[in-house]
Amino acid sequence: MSKYAMVIDMDRCVACHACEVACRSHYDVPVPYYRNWVHDLRPEGVYPDIKKVSYVGLCNHCDDAPCVKACPTGATYERKDGVVVVDKDLCIGCGLCIEACPYGARYINPVIEKVDKCDFCIDRVEQGVEPACVATCIASARIFGDMDDPDSKVSQLIANGAQPNVSEKVNVGPNIYYLDSHGNFPVVQAAFPPKLPHMPTPQKMWTKVLRPLFWLAIGGTFLGQLVAFSTQLFKGESDIKE
Amino acid sequence: MEKKISRRSFLKISGTVGTGAAVGLSASTSKTKAAIRKEPKKIEKIPSTCEQCFWRCGIIATVEDGKLVNIEGNPLHPNNRGKICARGNAGVSLVYEKDRLKNPMIRVGERGSGNWKEVSWKEALDYTAEKLLAVAKKYGVESNALFSHGASGYFISDMYKFWGSPNSAAPSFAQCKGSRDVGYELTYGENLGSPERIDLSNAKVITLIGSALGENIHTGQIIDFTDGLANGAQLIAVDPRFSTAASKAKWWLPIKPGTDTALVLAWINEIINQKGYDENFVRNSTTGFSELVSHVKEFTPEWAEKITEIPASTIRETARAMMDAKPAVLVHPGRHVAWYGNDVQRARAMAILSAILGIWGQKGGYFLKSAFPASYNALNIPDAPKPKRERVDGAGYRFPFANPDEGLTQELVKATLSQQPYPIKSWMVFGQNIFNSIPNKRDTRKAIDNLDFYAVVDVRPTEPTWYADVVLPEDTYLERYDSLMTVTGWYKQYVSLRQPVVKRQHNTKPGWWIAMELGKRLGLSAYYPYNDYEDVIKYQLKDSGISFTKLKKDGVVTFPAKIYLNPGESYQFKTSDKKVHLYSKELKDLGFDPLPKYEPVNDPGKGYFRLVYGLMPVHSHGKTESNPWLNTIISEPHLWINETIGRSMGLKNDDEVIVENQDGIRSDKIKILMTPGMRPDAVFLPHGFGGNDRGLLDYTRRNVSDNNLISKYNVDPISGGTGLRVNFVRLLVDDNPLTPTVEVSMTGVSATKVSGVQQQEEQNRTFNIQPKKKESAIKEGC
Ligand code: SF4
Ligand code: SF4
Ligand code: SF4
């Protein structure tokens, strides 16, 4: 089995935003949303020790993904290869997963009224093509591959010290790793620490999921799924750890 | 496997959901189908060549049922090797940009009133030709002038040549790389071309003088640059601003703006003193070394320290790094070098530094150009007539080394203003924002008043479009053919094809067609023995051994290149005596300095800062600002200012200021970015953002253009290139000028202490993140 991961080589990245735009074009991501981002930080420090850093981010395809737990319909799930995906047909657009994600990786696509996020370009990957952001990266700063293969470049870079963006408080097993030899990654971590996942409260569950679903249920075809949602709901509530 | 559901059954289920859930989710379920991009009937992958900037990367467009859905890099293209930058990716959004010019228009109200009527192409071209001919009749053909740019600009500048007017100019020379090319030609007998023949990936030391690689993006060059750094190259970044390149550098040299030549002279001095130069190369392949030695004797690192504010020890250390790494030292020649109006001499200094390090034709240095192995059939057309009158911009005579093929835009503006040496009565502006490229746009604006006729050809409107008598809308580069792009100075030689990848969206035409149709109306039919440019390309390639079919299919055809000299091989330089001219007799004979000197720069004076500018990675000149995919990344420029200075003026990050230059010219409000990564005596304003574009564009914006504040400029007497970094600005809040209460050097506050200003913890640390409010998109339950 494969286990996909990405390494961002911060030493190579020139903050050109090509990856962000390639992703927008491949997935019709409407402005101003994004599945993949480059946040440029102001150069800071004390001369001569100044750092100019950009945070290149995307869904971390977390091992212990709060979004999966928060999703009441099972639309968001983790594949066996570690890729966390959203089944658009099951997504009801409640947005609970957005609040659960520590990395701000999800948004509601207003055109389709469904949640969208990076899926590691899994359709491309399954055809043996690199993710779009990796393919376009003009600095070869994005390396995608299989962590289960010890000879893969990602495995080697991770062995050589590439780090995920986790904090003492939040570690949900992210699979995006950052390589950095200029002391820039700590700047990213300080500016963009993973947020504590906001898991759905019973009240939100009511307003965002159950009430709308009640109307659906009248439509008559959703009863079975309602049971599934409730199961998810309990699971999601109980076993999130911080 | 993951979920036991195949895509087919998946779609089936969604159909069931759609019917069953009619009550609550009907709207969104019906959109679901649209969301999962409909299985297109026809997917085409069409290669072509990018023109979001002038690097011209190979691209592959994906077109689904006639709609362009994305653009990727062409892996076969030796320049960009499958990669493209943000702008290249955003070509999709250019095609569908709503602000594009869509129909030919003729002005009906006063000039500048914004009243046009849409007309047919025939009417627009007949009208244009009639006006141009009227000027020719009354004042002579030469009184018709052209400003052009870009790949399709060649067609129209050829048309003006065929017609007999010598008066055409492009900003690519005087506002860009002209002085660099002249400086290198005077030294080596040839310039380094575009794409530049620089072996970044194999260099052991890379020296960037004001070249902000990473913010200034040319894909092939960034591939090589980042490979070079990954291979362990040491980077010397000379820049008054902490650029992206500086953030990757071993040495950041925050030089006092305008003093670069002094630094380079001190490096040469040190390298000669340390005998760190390439003795063999200097002996066998150069002339004027002894003159150079005595010339630089006084230019010691200590001398340069006083001028550049770079410590002598740092100058020595970096000189040492270059000596030790030679010949794998890449001194980047720069690209936009129109800084101070003595830029040829700075380019000369850099060319001399590279020469004594012996980097010509060496791995990690400057590489060689090859002879193209194929030759194209030439069209059977008459020679262009010799113009009856001298060109008005002085290229080739008043400015002896200016390239007449590109001309001098600012001199053409001046001649139109003064109507000297003879009247200039019509302008055609082709694919260029003349208000954002040529300095002192007030002159440019005024000159328009002297014209009998003024036409604009462009893809999208810009500020100068507003005043046009006729507007001719051009196809985007994704909808047209252009001439073959043949590059001989690269790792592999190549010819790259631009072909339409998508049907034209509006009533637009390609540049070649516009030039041809106008030409025919001006009596130049003999120059246009074709009706379709595809036929021209086929004819050109017919006997070349390059198959048009293959080129159309692959987008590019490559040939091997010899880029390095063999060990011991000497190079025949293209100078009179086949040697590198360290000392330039050519310059001396025309009364210029035969060896480069440092010319002192003025200090801004209290409360003022030198205005420097540069590119942001997602924008090309003024071409991309309104592209929604790029505008969402950087929608407005931030004025960079030294943090300590800014604080002493009571400013915080993102505060808005008005910028006023020495002539009292003001910007609209601009947000500031305070950083220790900016010299205290300068401010930096990103280039490529709006002037007073009105009406034609659907979104309003503020006048935050750097060029608006560049009302003063110098002109290089050797090349005619402009010097644009000679303006001083101050900052105003509520009409009150701000004055720093501290004196600061790069190493810290040197005079008065920062008083009454707290070292604030900055709230908003990021500067280009848009308020992308995801939360607001979450629908509240009903
Ligand atoms: S980054 Fe966010 S969206 Fe991605 S798997 Fe982790 S929690 Fe889910
Ligand atoms: S494309 Fe590559 S270099 Fe450019 S911002 Fe993305 S990761 Fe960085
Ligand atoms: S560098 Fe970018 S904009 Fe320029 S030609 Fe290449 S892809 Fe296009």
Mutate to test the pocket of ligand 1, among A67, A76, A85, A171 (most ligand atoms within 8 A of CB): A67
Contacts of A26 in chain B (CB under 8 A): 70
pLDDT band at B772 (very low <50, low <70, confident <90, very high): very low
Lowest mean pLDDT among A151-160, A195-204, B3-12, B533-542: B3-12
Name the closest-CA residue to atom 5, ligand 1. A61
- Cβ of A40 and B769 within 8 Å? yes
Q: Which residue of A has its CA nearest to B770?
A: A32
The DSSP bridge pattern shows strands B722-723 and B144-148 to be unpaired
Residue A40 to residue B88, Cβ atoms within 8 A: no
Tokens, residue B737: 């000028």
Ligand 3 mutation pick, B48, B70, B72, B87, max ligand atoms within 8 A of CB: B87
Q: Is B210 left (phi over 0), alpha (psi -120 to 50) or beta?
A: left
Residue A86 forms contact with B (CB below 8 Å): no
What pLDDT does A223 receive?
A: 52
Can you identify the CATH homologous superfamily of domain B191-368+566-589?
Answer: Dimethylsulfoxide Reductase, domain 2 (3.40.228.10)
As a whole number, mean pLDDT of residues B591-605 equals 96
Q: How many angstroms is it from A149 CA to the middle of ligand 2?
A: 25
Check if A170 contacts B (Cβ < 8 Å): no
Residue nearest to atom 4 of ligand 1 (CA): A59
Does A196 contact B at CB distance below 8 Å?
no
CA distance B48 to B496: 8
Phi, psi (degrees; rounded to nearest 5) at B512: -60, -35
Mean pLDDT of A54-75: 97
* pLDDT band for position B703 (cuts 50, 70, 90): confident
Helix axes B343-356, B260-273, angle to 10 degrees: 20
Paired tokens of B661: 């230059």
Question: Residue range B174-181: average pLDDT?
Answer: 97
Cβ–Cβ < 8 Å for A118, A142: no
Count of CB contacts below 8 A, A vs B? 244
Mean model confidence pLDDT for chain A: 90
SS3 B558: strand
Rounded to a whole number of angstroms, the distance from the CA of B112 to the nearest CA of chain A is: 33
- Nearest residue in B to A208, CA atom: B781
Distance, in angstroms, between A171 CA and closest chain B CA? 23
Topology adopted by domain A4-191:
Alpha-Beta Plaits (3.30.70)
The ligand whose atoms approach the alpha carbon of A176 most closely is 1
More confident residue, B30 or B154: B154
- Residue B690, pLDDT score: 80
Taking contacts as CB-CB distances below 8 angstroms, the residues of chain A near B84 are 18, 22, 136, 138
Domain ranges of chain A: 4-191, 200-242
Interchain CB distance below 8 Å, B3 and A77:
yes
Q: Which among A17, A40, A140 is the nearest to B767, CB-wise?
A: A40
| Ligand 2 contacts CB of residue A6 (under 6 A) | no
Q: Which residue has the higher pLDDT, B621 or A110?
A: A110
- Rounded Cα distance, B214 and A138, in Å: 10
Q: Is the CB of A106 under 6 A from ligand 1?
A: yes
pLDDT reported for residue B764: 38
A142 Cβ under 8 Å from any chain B Cβ:
no
B288-315 pLDDT, tens digit per residue, is 999 999 999 999 999 999 999 999 999 9
pLDDT over 50 at B330, yes or no: yes
Listed in order, the ranges of chain B carrying CATH 2.40.40.20 are: 609-777
Q: Does the domain made of B105-174+375-560 have the CATH classification 3.40.50.740?
A: yes
* Per-residue pLDDT at B701 exceeds 80: no
Q: Is B676 within 8 Å of A212 when comparing Cβ atoms?
A: no
Residues 6 or more apart from B618 whose CB is under 8 A from it?
A16, A17, A21, B86, B87, B90, B624, B630, B633, B634
Nearest CA in chain B to A130: B82
Q: Which of A17, A216, A221 sits opposite B633 (nearest CB)?
A: A17
Check whether A190 has a pLDDT greater than 80: yes
Q: Is the pLDDT at B767 greater than 90, yes or no? A: no
Confidence of residue A227 (pLDDT cuts 50, 70, 90): low
Q: Could you tell me the strand order of the sheet in which A142-146 lies?
A: A142-146, A4-9, A176-179, A163-164
The whole-number pLDDT of residue B697 equals 63
- Tell me the chain B residues in contact with residue A200 when contact means C-beta distances shorter than 8 Å: none
Q: Are B50 and B84 in contact (CB under 8 A)?
A: yes
Q: How far is ligand 2, taken at its centre, from the CA of residue B367, in Å?
A: 27
Residue type at position B133: L
A67 C-beta closer than 6 A to ligand 1: yes
The helix (H) or strand (E) run that includes residue B429 is: strand B426-430
* Atom nearest to B83 CA in ligand 3: 7
pLDDT of residue B286 exceeding 80, the answer is yes
A202 and chain B: CB distance < 8 Å anywhere? no
Q: Which of B49, B55, B72 maximizes ligand 3 atoms within 8 Å of its Cβ, making it the mutation to test the pocket?
A: B55
Nearest to B32 among A18, A112, A136 (CB): A112
pLDDT given at position B21: 28
The whole-number pLDDT of residue B427 equals 98
Residue B164 has pLDDT above 70, yes or no: yes
For residue B34, pLDDT beyond 90:
no
Q: How confident is the model at residue B275 (pLDDT cuts 50, 70, 90)?
A: very high
CA of B494 to the centre of ligand 1 (A): 44
pLDDT digits (tens, 9 = 90+) for A34-56: 999 999 999 999 988 999 999 99
A39 contacts B769? CB cut-off 8 A:
yes
Residue B759: pLDDT above 80?
no
- Is domain B609-777 in CATH 3.40.1690.10, yes or no? no
Calpha distance B147→B124 (Å, rounded): 19
In the three-class reduction of DSSP (H, G, I as helix; E, B as strand; rest coil), residue B18 is classed as helix
Q: Is the pLDDT of residue B773 over 60?
A: no
Residues of B in contact with A124 (CB under 8 A): none
Band of pLDDT at residue A208, cut at 50, 70 and 90 = confident
User: Searching chain A, which residue's CA lies closest to the CA of residue B62?
Assistant: A26
Chain B residues within 8 A of A35 when measuring between CB atoms? none
> What integer pLDDT is reported at residue B698 of this predicted model?
57
Cα A115 from Cα B680, distance rounded (Å): 47
Q: Determine if ligand 2 sits within 6 Å of the CB of residue A22.
A: no
> In 10 A of CB B110, how many CB atoms?
9
Which of B493, B483, B490 has the alpha carbon at shortest distance from B541? B483
Q: Do B774 and A98 touch (CB under 8 A)?
A: yes
Per-residue pLDDT at B755: 34
pLDDT at residue number A231 = 55
What is the mean pLDDT of the segment spanning B717-732? Answer: 98
Residue A200's pLDDT band (boundaries 50, 70, 90)? Answer: confident
**Do the Cβ atoms of B21 and A141 come within 8 Å?**
no
Quote the pLDDT of residue B345: 98
> Strand, coil or helix: what is A237?
helix
Average of per-residue pLDDT across B702-723: 95
- The ligand minimizing its distance to the Cα of A98 is 1
Residue from A6, A12, A16 to probe ligand 2 pocket by mutation (most atoms less than 8 Å from CB): A16
pLDDT at position A232, please? Answer: 56
Whether residue B6 is predicted with pLDDT greater than 50 in this model: the reply is no
Average pLDDT of span A29-34? 96
User: For the residues B190-219, what does the mean pLDDT come to?
Assistant: 97
Work out the pLDDT band at B14, boundaries 50, 70, 90. Answer: very low
- What span, in angstroms and rounded, lies between the C-alpha atoms of B375 and B546? 9
Structure confidence at residue B760 (pLDDT): 36
Other CB atoms closer than 10 Å to residue B763's CB: what's the count?
8
Judged by CB atoms closer than 8 Å, whether chains meet at A12 and B230 is answered as yes
Query: Is B86 in Cβ contact with A21 (below 8 Å)?
Result: yes
Q: Which residues of A are less than 8 Å from B93 in CB distance?
A: 25
- 3-state SS string for B498-513: CCCCCCCCCCCECHHH
The full DSSP string for B699-738 is: S------HHHH----EE-TTT--EE----EEEEEETTEEP
Query: Quick one: tokens of B435?
Result: 């208000």
Of the candidate ranges A199-213, B115-129, B380-394, the one whose mean pLDDT is the lowest: A199-213
What's the gap in Å between B627 CA and the centre of ligand 3?
Answer: 15
Nearest ligand 1 atom to alpha carbon A66 = 7
Q: Is A117 in the pocket of ligand 1 (CB under 6 A)?
A: yes
Q: What is the mean pLDDT of chain B?
A: 90
How many angstroms is it from A104 CA to the middle of ligand 1? Answer: 8
Which of A181-195, A203-217, B718-732 is the least confident region? Answer: A203-217
Whether B4 has a pLDDT exceeding 50, the answer reads no
